[in-house]
Structures are given as structure tokens and as C-alpha cells.
Amino acid sequence: MQKTVTPSGSPRDEAYNFAYLDEATKRMVRRALLKAVAVPGYQVPFGSREMPLARGWGTGGIQVTAAVIGPEDTLKVIDQGADDTTNAVSIRRFFARVAGVATTEATAEASIIQTRHRIPEAPLEAGQILVYQVPQPEPLRKLESSEAETRKMHAWGDYGPMYVRLYEDIARFGHVATTYSYPVLVNGRYVMSPSPIPKFDNPKMHMSAALQLFGAGREKRIYAIPPWTEVKSLDFEDHPFEVQKWDEPCALCGAPDSYLDEVITDDQGGRMFVCSDTHYCEGRRDAGHRGRLLGTDAGRALARDGE
């Protein structure tokens, strides 16, 4: 049942320009993208348009995707790592309608992957573009509420307060108590928010072969990590960065090394842990890997085996 590329079922909606945005707007977004790629990790202000989807629901990512997508592209959209979450479905439908492009759930077959909160488990390849939806592009916002001030802090490389915050966690808890939106230093210059991906995914950004583009629609900022760029999660020599681990493997595919979602199975405290990356999980099951609960009622409900 491995999903492959789905050609766009119906022709695109001719009432709108290809990929919804007009060409002048796309050019404006592309200019911002070029600047962002040239200055990795720097937040480029752009004339974010009002979109037919709500702010906070991916309008930044959608504008970036609309600016870079072409008729030959194959698009994958994930939310929480899954292709079938409601908003991912909604965004994929949007592009199928206004761009008429082929869509896929297979990570390797997608030329553009728009994501919210996750990086796929399978390593990305050269030529692929990962587009992140970003709610708050400013990693320093919780430390300094003024945009005028945080821009100065970036200009001066004044990242002391961020290290102090991490240090305070260590002094209090013995380790850094940030699990997502864990700040990174890009290309040795700008501290950047990786968007609210779990810190588990941070290492995948480092020296990635793929181009990583970030769009924050409501906050009107674009930033980028070009391929093969150093991305370092902030840490201390005596308290090196570490990622989450689980005590058990995925209950469906048995993967010992993927990010797991906790699923409540009853009201008696029963729970199971399954891959958040649904395509990765399906791929492993197709390859014969079996988790503890595959084939049980709970497993069937989650594994979409009934199809």
C-alpha cells in the first residue's frame, strides 16, 4: 500500500493565477528568498499577502511554496509528520486546485515538502526543498518583546541573553528544559528559530543536502538554510545538546530511532507510541518490520490497514 505520486485529478482552477499569487507577488517573495539564502538564518521582512487561509495556519509556508512551485513539481504536505492531518489535507487540496500539481505522500518522490512541526525521518536529498510553516520567527521574542530591539540584538550578535536562559535551565533542572523551537546557530552567525519542530529534528538541519526555506506569514518574515550549511543547536561544552529518547520502539513498525507520538488507547491509562512520520512508518511496515501492536485493534485503527 505504499503511496506514490498522485497526478492532479482535475485541471487547476483557471480563475486564479498559477499557484494563486500573482506573478509580481511571487517575484517579491523570490527576492526575499534569494536574500534569505544569501544570508543564512537572517530574517528577511517581506510583503506577506493576506491569504484565503487563516494566519497561523500556514500562510507563510504557503506563500513560499507558491513562489517556488512549478507545474512539474511534486508536492508533499505534512503536519505533525503526518500527511493526513486535517490542515495538511487542506493545504494539499489548495495547491492541487490552484496549481494543479501532482501530490505525493512519499518523501523521496516529493520535490517540495511543506511541513509544520516536523522534519521527515528519511534524509532529504539534493534538489529537494523543505518549506517550514513558522508561527514565530524570532527566537529572542520571549526574552525581548520589542521587534526594534531584537533586530538590533541580531545585528550585534548579542546572543548572551539566550545563553543565560539556557544556563538558568541547567542551574535549575540540571539540563535545558526546551523540547521544541530549540534555538540554533546558523552558519556561525545568526541565532534562528527552527520553527516548533521537536529538538529531536534539529540535527537533521545540519549539513542537509536539501534547501530549507522558512515562511512566517503573520509576522511577515522569510529565512533560509542553504544546502550544506552548518546548523548548531545552542549548548555548552559541559552540557552538550541532546535529543529526546523513548523507552520503547514504535508499536506499529518497531522503529527504534524515530520521533514517536503518544496515543491514548483507553481511559485506563493504556497508551501506545507510534511514529509521528506516517510515511516513514508505512514504508517500514511494507518492508516487513512489525511493531508490538501491529494487527491489534488499536494498531489497525492507526495504521490505516482497513483501506
Binding residue for another protein, selected from 2, 6, 23, 47, defined by CB under 8 A: 47
235 binds another protein (CB under 8 A): no
Query: Which position among 60, 81, 100, 275 bears the catalytic label?
Result: 275
Binding residue for another protein, selected from 156, 238, 267, 288, defined by CB under 8 A: 267
Round the CA-based radius of gyration of the chain to a whole number and report it.
20
Sort strands 74-79 and 44-45 into parallel, antiparallel or unpaired. Answer: unpaired
262 binds another protein (CB under 8 A): yes
Residue appearing with cell numbers 531584537: 150
Q: How far is the CB of 57 from another protein (least distance, A)?
A: 5
Contact region with another protein (CB under 8 A), list: 6-14, 44-52, 102-110, 227-235:
44-52
8 binds another protein (CB under 8 A): no
What is the residue type of 294? L
- Give yes or no for a contact between 51 and 95, defined as CB atoms under 8 angstroms apart: no
266 binds another protein (CB under 8 A): yes
54 binds another protein (CB under 8 A): yes
- Give yes or no for a contact between 96 and 8, defined as CB atoms under 8 angstroms apart: yes
Binding residue for another protein, selected from 33, 60, 76, 79, defined by CB under 8 A: 79
295 as an active site residue: the answer is: no
56 as an active site residue: the answer is: no
Binding residue for another protein, selected from 9, 10, 11, 173, defined by CB under 8 A: 173
The Cα diameter of the chain in Å comes to: 59
d(CA 136, CA 181): 9
What is the residue type of 164? V
Q: How far is CA 181 from CA 17, 20, 41, 66, in A?
A: 34, 30, 14, 25
Contact region with another protein (CB under 8 A), list: 4-12, 215-223, 228-236, 284-292:
215-223
Strand partners, 211: 129
217 as an active site residue: the answer is: no
Q: How far is CA 81 from CA 132, 137, 258, in A?
A: 12, 20, 11
Binding residue for another protein, selected from 244, 248, 286, 290, defined by CB under 8 A: 244
Subset of residues 23 to 42 that bind another protein, contact rule: CB under 8 A: none
250 as an active site residue: the answer is: yes
Subset of residues 104 to 133 that bind another protein, contact rule: CB under 8 A: 116-118
Query: Which position among 60, 81, 217, 250 bears the catalytic label?
Result: 250
- Give yes or no for a contact between 51 and 21, defined as CB atoms under 8 angstroms apart: no
d(CA 293, CA 301): 11
41 as an active site residue: the answer is: yes
Q: How far is the CB of 157 from another protein (least distance, A)?
A: 20
Contact partners, residue 118, CB within 8 Å, separation at least 6? 78, 80, 81, 197, 198, 201, 259, 276, 277
Cell numbers of 168, please? 538558568
Give me the active site residues, please. 41, 250, 253, 275, 281
Binding site for another protein (CB under 8 A): 16, 22, 45-52, 54-57, 59, 79-82, 84-87, 89-90, 93, 116-118, 135, 145-148, 173-174, 177, 179-180, 196-200, 218, 220-221, 244, 246, 259-267, 276, 297-298, 301-302
